[in-house]
Structure 1
Amino acid sequence: MPHVIAAVRPGADDAAVVPVAGAMAALLCADVRRVDLVARPTADAAPILAALQAVDAVAAVVSRDAVDDPGWEALLQGAAQPLVLVPEKGRAPERIDRILIPLDGTVEAAEAVAETVLLCAGAGLELIVLHVFDASTVPAYWDQAAHARECWEQEFLARHCGVPGVRLHLRSGVAGEHVVDVAESEEVDLIALAWSQRLIPGRAGTVRRTVAEASAPVALIPVLPR
């Protein structure tokens, strides 16, 4: 049977990680398998990566605070399945009803979250998509007739998130500045972020800021090589 890994440090993460792992398992029609971690965070990436290599492992849930240690870069960059980071002092929902999906307009990001989108839509969850324009991507007609914006929104959702009932938020500026704000205002239970697993300087700015500041769990979904 498919399973979600709940990676728990001794005496530290039960109140945060375990409920979210249960919520993810319910969403994914899976069970929960607990992995008890040692007290030294730098030694904990290996057992989680090993557990994720099982053919029936579908995700891992871990405390966000645990991944602050540099030793966790191996986990962030090596996990082939979604990795859900739970803020220790944020919200730990026992049920997932509303999900925020930031999309940058690339095919790679849309493909990475496509399975999640279909699964959540089929389960009747509320899906909220966020797209942030920058100076190079804002449509030339953006300040013109309202119907132009409506047509653009419909085309964007059809191309990148083709399920009914999705709500689209549009913002302009730096994506990392808006994901947390929209997640808070919409009171989402989960943020699902496609990412390249590249942590070199200058990369993954949206992921870094969202993970650091969001009060909701953040699911990092690897972008697979094309």
Structure 2
Amino acid sequence: MLAVKDLYVEYSGIRAVNGVTFSMDEGQFITLIGANGAGKSSIVKAITGLVKPKQGEIIFNDTNIEGRDSSVIIRQGISYCPEGRRIFATMTVEENLKIGAYLRKDKKKINDDLDKVYHYFPILKEKRNLPGGSLSGGQQQMLAVGRSLMSDPKLLLIDELTLGLAPIIIQDLAKILIELNQNGLAIILIEQNANVALKTANYGYVLETGNIILEDDTTELTDNDFIQKAYLGI
């Protein structure tokens, strides 16, 4: 489904991603974990067209999308939930959700997908006519994920899902991501919180200073001595 090959990303000559290569199958749930500055977000921004790689290939469903405009990539079936949520505070919850479908023309399917988002996040339906800025931090994260789903993606990329959220909200969001994946949606979760990431995804890649230093099934990574000491505090 997705293959990232020999990817390099630089900012003003400073290398953020150093020849990263990884792939995922249709319907898979993977995570990229690592400390702040490890290169996780730069990889995701390259996949979604928000930054242009210095070098490398990004193949999605047999098409090279490296360097393409973000709107083209969204139409291909990739959606991005950014770090920091970035909702529109003065717009209603429902208006925020519908913005996620701005490239679509299939009005009936859009309404069906809106109902699905409300199924996963009932609180958003309850507050659909309120300004997005009136929601709590956890509810705003739900709104950001819901908005990403409104493009009807085949692959969802989520950057720092857990940032600033209470443990009970994190647990609820993780359960929803697992359900979405079980219903066929491929997901890449980018996380500093390795404990949550490894419990939620099925396969993980560990990044340090722009390099993948370890990869394995998340159950194996959880039992790895290095991961336990460096990321899980065990």
TM-score by length of 1: 0.31
More relative contact order in 1 or in 2 (CA 8 Å, sep 6+)? 2
TM-score (norm 2): 0.30
